[in-house]
Structures are given as C-alpha cells and as structure tokens.
Structure 1
Amino acid sequence: MKLLIASLLFLGAVSVNAQTSKELIGKWKLVKETKDGVDKEIKDDTYQVFFDDGKFEGIVGSKTSNGKWKLSDDNKVLTVKISIIKVKFTIEYFDAKRRVINNDMTGRLEYEKAAD
C-alpha cells in the first residue's frame, strides 16, 4: 500500500512539471530576467507567442519579430529561430502556467502564460 501511494505521488509530481509542445502553445509574458546573478529591469511588455504549426512571434513593446520554434525530443531544449539567428534555450522549469529558460547570451528568463 505504501508503495502504491508513493508511486501515485511521484506520478503526480511528474505531471505537474510536464513539458510538451502542446503546453508551450500560446502567449507568454516575460516577468523576470536575470543575467550573471543580477535582475534586469524589464522596460517594455515582452512576450513570446508559440503557434502549433511551429511559427513563433517575439513581441517587445510595439515591435514584433516572426520566426520558428522547436522543442527537442526530450523536452529539455527550446530552439527559436528568427531570420538567420538561431538561439537554443535550456529549459529549467516548464508547466502550463510558468516557464523558466536559460541561455548564456540572454541569461535566465522567467515567463508566465498570458491570458488569451
């Protein structure tokens, strides 16, 4: 019985941290940016929008950039390509409402799912 309960708790914990392309679809707002251990000021509303056909939209204030995105098979690396620039982010945490990604260039970026 204890083994069954422990297994159910483990499965519940795994499902809370699920990382799938399906959960990534939608609009995400940047809520925190940290570079070299220092929090950066977010000056403009910054969003990432992921579409189910692999298209991507980056929004910073009134400027929009279009590109493509891909999540690795193991759901640990998010690649975003805009024009000829391709950036790979390591996924630190990701669920249906919150996402934390990291890249040596950009630092640690925390996003929350925006209301549609």
Structure 2
Amino acid sequence: MAVIDDVRSLGSELERSYEVYVRGRLKFRVKQIVYVAFSLDERVMGFGFPKEERAGLVASAPNTFHLPSESDMRFSWVHADLAALDPREARELVVDAWRMVVPQKVSRAYDLIHPHGPG
C-alpha cells in the first residue's frame, strides 16, 4: 500500500521538478507543466500517461487505475488509487510521468544515476 510520503521526495529530487500546493492539493511540476497531482484526501494520484496507452492500463487493473473526468480526457492523464499500489510502483509511475515532460537527455541522465529505477 502506497501513501503520499512514498513519492513526495521525488517532487524535489527529480531534475527540474518542484512541488507546489494549488487549492490545498500537492502537485509536482516541471516549469508550469503538472505531471503528478494528488486529491485533497491524498488517496488518489493523478499522473501523466500516454493517451494511446491509458485504456490498456485501466483495463489491466480497473480496481487500481481509472480515467480522469470527461473534462480532463483531453490531457494525457490517469488516476490511481494509492492504496492499491505498492510504494515502488507508485514511484515508478511518478518517474515515468516526469519523463514525459523533461528532455530526453535529462531522462537519460537519471537512468545513469538510477539504473534500477527509483528506489
């Protein structure tokens, strides 16, 4: 079972990333692009995910993953129930979402430092 503290440190550890609070909700950004956001109750993590792959992700684990609201379907975004994720999986989802918003050279540099993924 993952909780927000399992991934919170990534908000400032990942290059070019920082955390902000918007209307009481924790979000991770690179510049002005939000790549991870948590619900007010910190039970749901929204994260960037390729549009063309999100239906498959949701179908693979419908008790864990769900699509965003209709108004947010235009974004490359998926929601996950944090309690249904293990901490390592939650960290991997954050790093993968971060990869979508940083240059490839930044992502590759992360891989050199963390060859086995996020700890």
TM range (shorter): under 0.3
Rg comparison, structure with higher value: 1
| TM-score where L is the length of structure 1 | 0.28
Structure having the higher helix fraction is 2
As a proportion of its length, which structure holds more strand? 1
